[in-house]
Amino acid sequence: MRFEPEIAGWVARAREAVIAEWPEAAWLPEVPEWRIALFHAAMRVGGMRTEEIAVVGQAALFVEWGLWLHEAIDDAKRLSLPVPLRVLYGDVLSSRYVRLLAEANQGAMIGRIARALETIHAARAMRYVLYREPEADREQVFELEVDIQSALPLALASPGSPIRPLIPRVVRYMLLWDARVGGRIYGGEARFLKFGMQLWEDLEALLRAVIDDGARRSLRALVRRLPSIRTPELSLSELSEGL
């Protein structure tokens, strides 16, 4: 799926900035489309202007790529660099956001992303500890993963933004969906369906409540990339086309 112009612009600029300095043999992580759309919705619904999104969105992708490199250091097939270099390049990418945002006078956003990284690293450390236990608490591991994947988009959303409560729920939904597709449904099918239906109803309500056209477009871009558990006549993706 191709990104909408508002999203495609800052995604392309971020990729171009990295590719210009990136080793030809190295793998640059592919961030899922739903996640990039979530970043954009977090910024736009929170009231961020287009010119701010162009910079903050790039910074968020630098951080995300760096985190993915750190997370995938054992994936020898997809990452051709030796492990020490993968960690180094991950550090370089993860730290580039500071200079980019500082040059754009986005000091507050630097602090928000820095605090998100603290949350992510602490949760990853705890997850590693749990993985080493003979019988890891699956629910605790899952909740840590939700925290890890929610921290960065939450940092992009302004305090008080109506999308903030939905961000961890979208992340949870996608993690549950991936587990369901892989035959590893967590918490049972009925629990997943109930959670999913409530999320979609709340996304519908937010779509109807948002007045700003850019924010509405960002929400449409997000819901188009979320797999729906609803029947076609109730699909939010179809509903959003007519809004």
CA separation for the pair 28, 22 (Å, rounded): 8
Residue type, position 127, single letter: R
Q: Is the pLDDT of residue 110 over 50?
A: yes
What pLDDT score was predicted for residue 180?
Answer: 75
**At 76, is the pLDDT very low, low, confident or very high (cuts 50, 70, 90)?**
very low
Mean of the pLDDT values across residues 19-27?
68
Q: In the 8-state DSSP scheme, what is residue 137?
A: -
Overall domain count for the chain: 1
**DSSP letter (8 states) at residue 211:** -
* Cα distance between residue 172 and residue 98, in whole Å: 28
Q: How crowded is residue 165: how many other Cβ atoms within 10 Å of its Cβ?
A: 11
Q: Note down the domain range covering 198.
A: 5-241
In CATH, what number is assigned to the domain containing residue 60?
Answer: 1.10.600.10
Are residues 186 and 176 in contact, defined by beta-carbon separation less than 8 angstroms?
yes
Quote the pTM value: 0.87
CA angle 144, 15, 221 (to 5 degrees): 65
Question: How many whole angstroms separate alpha carbon 161 and alpha carbon 137?
Answer: 33
Q: In the predicted model, what is the mean pLDDT of residues 171-177?
A: 93
Measure CA of the first residue to CA of the last residue in the chain; give whole Å: 21
Report the range of poorest mean pLDDT among 163-172, 183-192, 204-213. 183-192
Residue-level pLDDT at 65: 87
Judged by phi (left if over 0) then psi (alpha if -120 to 50, else beta), residue 149 lies in alpha
